[in-house]
Amino acid sequence: MSIFEPKSSVTTTEYVQVSGKDVFSLARPHRKTSAVPKVSMILALVYPRLGRDARKVVVVLLLATAVGLWDNTLLQRSMKPVISERIDNHMQDWALPSSIKQGWVGEVDSTAPTGLFASGDLDDVLKVWDANITIEAPSICEGLCTGSLNGAGIAINCNSSVQNIDLTLATSNGAILFDLTFSRTFSADHRPLLDMQLSYMSEADQQCRATIAIQHCSMQLATVAYDTIQQGYAVQLDTTRYPRVVEITPSVSDDTINGNPASALSALNYFPHYYLEGNATSMQPNTPGGQFAWEPYGTVCRQHADFPTFEEAKNRFCALRWRNATEDVLWKMHKVMFRLAVTSALGNETGAVSMHTCTRSVMIYEARYGTLWVAIGTMLLALLAAMSLFWGFWQLDRAVSMSPVEMARALAGTVLSFLAGDIRMDFEELLEVVGHKNVGQMSI
């Protein structure tokens, strides 16, 4: 098989001989040449030979081409897409009960550890809380919506104190290092309360002199305003702000007679007993150096323990301490109470329609007016240049069109100056003259 290539450096076509026949093949990539130098070369050769009008056409053509390339870039740069936050109002007609109906959580049972025989509804609420299953609103929010909902909740008052102990003393054997307990009490005006007491060792020095911090909180039922965050259908509490008390709604005493309908306060006593309570005590084995150990149990106790590293435990006694778990525990109580309010809607809803603020991301286009005006100016320049070619059209003594024949006649004085022809030739005569003219190696 033999390959023949043309001598011209312009063409890129290969001729391949196969079985005695010449066939075309694909152009070789390394032989490709740009059309721009060719056009420039042709213009450089032809332009000096053109007449005045033909030169104007060429100049306008080049100007329009340049503006078309430059103007597209300017128009693209004049508009910039950006992501912006759009804030709208969202009507939320989701109403929560202002209080939990007596008996919805169960009934009084003095034989139970917390005095409550829990209902299946209460256990279901606690299970979905423990599994962190999403709370869903009845209507969707496009974006991120924030607002408040009034519903059944709790009012909380807390105070704190500290005490110091020496863990090396024999009397400190079995001392409480962490303890979280709940109990039912009454206020001075005989309102039912739920008391929480949290004791934890906040620090201890090298001599094992420890500081025990004590947090005491009293809770009672109330109607509160929950700050919520909603995205789509999913709703959660805004943990940056505690629920605000709207009205105190004390429950009927439900801890004396078995079988009485229990209030939500009994449910809040039932919940931490099985999910939150825990403690840790010190143990002093008879070992040299007065080393001691501890035994913690309970999820909250372990979550907030600041266990020492290996080096700390090796070089320092009494290295264990706890972080304050009060805020974490109180938010767990608020979240369970919010779920109780959502689940126990039995007809005593507040009925209020709240306005939420919805924030969503939208794409907008920012205009760069300086670049836009430059682009418009270049377009107007090209338009005026093109219109200048029609200057003097009123001097025409006959109707003309933009057909190729008319264009050829208009340029005949220049194009045919080196041909055997005349501007008054008709179509057939023009083709006759041009058709026998050799251009390069081609015949037209």
The answer on pLDDT for 88 being more than 90 is no
Specify which residues 322 forms β-bridges with: 305
Distance CA 339, CA 134 (A): 10
* CB proximity list for 332: less than 8 A, separation 6 or greater: 272, 275, 276
| Structural domain includes residue 41 | no
3-state secondary structure of 390: coil
| Structural domain includes residue 167 | yes
In this prediction, residue 27 carries a pLDDT of 41
Name the average pLDDT for the chain. 77
Distance CA 426, CA 156 (A): 105
pTM of the model: 0.65
Residues 330 and 440 in one domain: no
Among 19-23, 240-244, 342-346, the least confident range: 19-23
What range does the domain containing 259 cover?
94-352
Specify which residues 297 forms β-bridges with: 279
**Unique residue bearing structure tokens 């030739």:** 425
Task: Give per-residue pLDDT as tens, 282-294.
Answer: 876 544 444 556 6
Count how many domains the chain has. 3
The answer on pLDDT for 209 being more than 80 is yes
Distance CA 107, CA 298 (A): 27
Estimate to the nearest angstrom the gap between the alpha carbon of 142 and the chain centroid: 12
Among 21-25, 202-206, 310-314, the least confident range: 21-25
Domain boundary among the residues 289, 320, 352 is at 352
pLDDT band, residue 378 (cuts 50/70/90): confident
| Structural domain includes residue 207 | yes
Which one-letter DSSP state was computed for residue 24?
E
Which one-letter DSSP state was computed for residue 97?
B
The answer on pLDDT for 440 being more than 50 is no
Which one-letter DSSP state was computed for residue 349?
B
Take residue 75 and report the two structure tokens written for it.
């128009």
3-state secondary structure of 387: helix
Residues 4 and 118 in one domain: no
Task: Report which of residues 31 and 79 the model is more confident about.
Answer: 79
Whether residue 238 contacts residue 228, with contact meaning beta carbons closer than 8 Å, is answered with yes
Stretch 91-103: mean pLDDT, rounded?
84
Stretch 78-89: mean pLDDT, rounded?
80
In this prediction, residue 49 carries a pLDDT of 57
Task: Give per-residue pLDDT as tens, 309-367.
Answer: 766 665 566 777 899 999 999 999 999 999 999 998 754 455 566 777 887 777 888 87
3-state secondary structure of 401: coil
Residues 325 and 406 in one domain: no
| Structural domain includes residue 365 | no
Take residue 270 and report the two structure tokens written for it.
């039932």
151: burial class by Cβ within 10 Å (0-12, 13-18, 19+)? buried
